[in-house]
Structure 1
Amino acid sequence: MTAIALVIFDCDGTLVDSEIISAKVESEIFTDLGHPLEPAEIQARFAGLKLSRIIELLKEETGMVFPENIVERIENETMSRLGQEVKDIAGAHEILDMIDLPRCICSNSSTEWLKTELDHVGLWDRFRPYVYSASEVGTRRSKPAPDVFHYACKEFGVEPQAAVVLEDSVHGVAAAAAAGCRVVGFTGAAHTYSGHADALTEAGAETVINRLLDFPAVITALSGWSQD
C-alpha cells in the first residue's frame, strides 16, 4: 500500500461550479448559429474536453460549419460570465484547511481562464504557483492524455500511485487513471447528470463522492485501500 503524498485537483466542476456556465454559453451560441444543442447534452458528452476539441468532434459527427472565430467568441463570453457569476463548490475552502498534504491543480483550461475564476472565488492564492494548464506545461497534450498528471507528479517528486486526483469528468478520470494515479470521481457540481457516477466509475474512479467535505476522509482511506 502506498500512502498518499500529493493531492491533485481538477478545477472546473470540482473546485468551482463553472461547467454549467460554460455549457449554457456554448448552447446559446451553437443555437444562434443554427446548431441547437442543449446544455445537458454538452455537459454529459463533452465535460472536461478543450473547446477546440469539442468543435472538432461536432464538425466530424454532424458536418456543422462554424465561423473561424467560434472558439474565441465562446471563450470570451464564457470568461466574462465566469468573472462575474462563478461560485466555488460548497466546501472548497474548508477542505483545503483540512488536507495537510502538498496540492496542485491540473486542468485543461488556460492559466488565464483559471486565474479569472479562482480569483473570483478566492482560491487562486491557495494554489499558485502550482496551477498547471495541460496545454501550457510539459508535452502540452490535454486530457484525456495523462501527461499533465505525469508533469505534476514529477514536479513534486512523487510517484503517480502516491497521488490522488479529484475529477468530475470521464475524460479527466480516464487521464488520471492512465497516469497511474488514484482517482476519486466528483458529482457535486450543478452540471451533474443521471448516470454520472457510474460513468466516472467505468472510466477508472475508485470511488465517487458528491460532497467535497467527504474528500479528506477518502484521502485517508485510500492510503489503506488496494488498487487491485
Structure 2
Amino acid sequence: MLVIFDCDGVLVDSEIIASRVTARLLGEAGMEITPDEVSLRFAGLTGDQIFSEAEAELGKSLPDTIRARSESELDNALETELQMVPGAHEMLDRLDAARCICSNSTSERLEMELRRTELYDRFRPYIYSAVEVRQHRQKPAPDVFLHAAEEFDVEPADVLVIEDSVHGVSGAVAAGMRVIGFTGASHTWPGHAEALMDAGATTVVNRLRDVPATVEALADWSLV
C-alpha cells in the first residue's frame, strides 16, 4: 500500500495564502474576486492555469507584470505566513505505510514549504512535482500519480491519495487510485466535501488525525 499526499492544502496551509495573493492580483487586472471565491473555483490549479482561465473569462490578456509578480509575491507570503496543517506530524507518526508527495508545485517551492513546516525530512526524496515528471502535465492529468506508483512499484489500485481539490481528486481517479478527500485546511468552504465526493473521492475527512484509521480501513476493504 502506498499513500500519496498532496502538499498544498493537505500538509501545509498554503491555499488560503495563495488565494489572497491571487485575488489581489486579479483585482488589479479588473477581475473582482474574493479569496474565498478563488479557493472555490481554482484550488489545486497552478498560477498559470488560474491566470489562463481568468484571461478567458475577461476576454483579454492579463498584464505581463501581473504574471511576473505572482510567483515572487506568493513566495514572499509563504515564507512569512505559512503554517503546517494541524496534526500533520502526529498523523505521520501513526501512518504505517509507504508515503510520498505528488504536487503541482515546483520542487523548489515544495522544499521551501516543507522545510518551513519541518516536514521535508518526513518525505524526502519521495517528493514529486507534476511539472518535472513524464510529460510535465499538471493535475488534473494523472501523470504525477502514475509516476509515483511506478517509483514504488505498486499497482494504482493499491494506492490511496489524500487530496483537497477537485482537480487533484479527478487526476487520482483517472490514474485508477482511490482518494480520501481532505477539508481540514483554512481554505475549505461550504460544499467542499460534497464537491470532492462528486469528483470521485471514496470518503472525506476534515482532520489529519483521522487519516491513519481511514487508510487502514480502506486497505482492509481492498482485500475483501
The question of a shared fold, defined as TM-score above 0.5 by the shorter chain, is answered with yes
Structure 2 gap segments, 5+ residues each = none
State whether residues 163 and 181 of structure 2, in contact with CA within 8 Å, keep that contact through their aligned partners in structure 1.
yes
Secondary structure at 2:75 match in 1:
helix
Aligned residue identity for 1:205? A
Which of 171, 179, 188 aligns to 1:183? It is 179
Deviation at 1:31, TM superposition (A): 1.5
Partner of 1:201: 197
Secondary structure at 1:155 match in 2:
helix
| Aligned pairs for 1:26-45 within 5 A | 26-45=22-41
Secondary structure at 1:100 match in 2:
coil
What is the CA–CA distance in structure 2 between the aligned matches of 1:64 and 1:16, rounded to whole Å? 33
2:159 equivalent to 1:163: yes
Aligned residue identity for 1:65? S
How many percent identity over aligned positions? 53
Bigger CA drift: 72-81 or 25-34?
25-34
Structure 1 gap segments, 5+ residues each = none
State whether residues 84 and 120 of structure 1, in contact with CA within 8 Å, keep that contact through their aligned partners in structure 2.
no
Secondary structure at 2:125 match in 1:
coil
Deviation at 1:34, TM superposition (A): 2.7
What is the CA–CA distance in structure 2 between the aligned matches of 1:166 and 1:72, rounded to whole Å? 31
Secondary structure at 2:132 match in 1:
coil
Answer 1 or 2: which has greater helix percent. Answer: 2
With the length of structure 1 as denominator, give the TM-score of the two structures: 0.95
State whether residues 111 and 133 of structure 1, in contact with CA within 8 Å, keep that contact through their aligned partners in structure 2.
yes
Partner of 2:2: 6
Deviation at 1:139, TM superposition (A): 1.7
Q: Deviations over 1:34-65 (max 9, x none)?
A: 32211111100110011111111111122143
Partner of 1:150: 146
How many residues were matched structurally? 224
Which of 76, 93, 100 aligns to 2:89? It is 93
Partner of 2:111: 115
Partner of 1:106: 102
Partner of 1:84: 80
What is the CA–CA distance in structure 2 between the aligned matches of 1:69 and 1:116, rounded to whole Å? 24
2:24 equivalent to 1:22: no
Aligned residue identity for 1:51? G
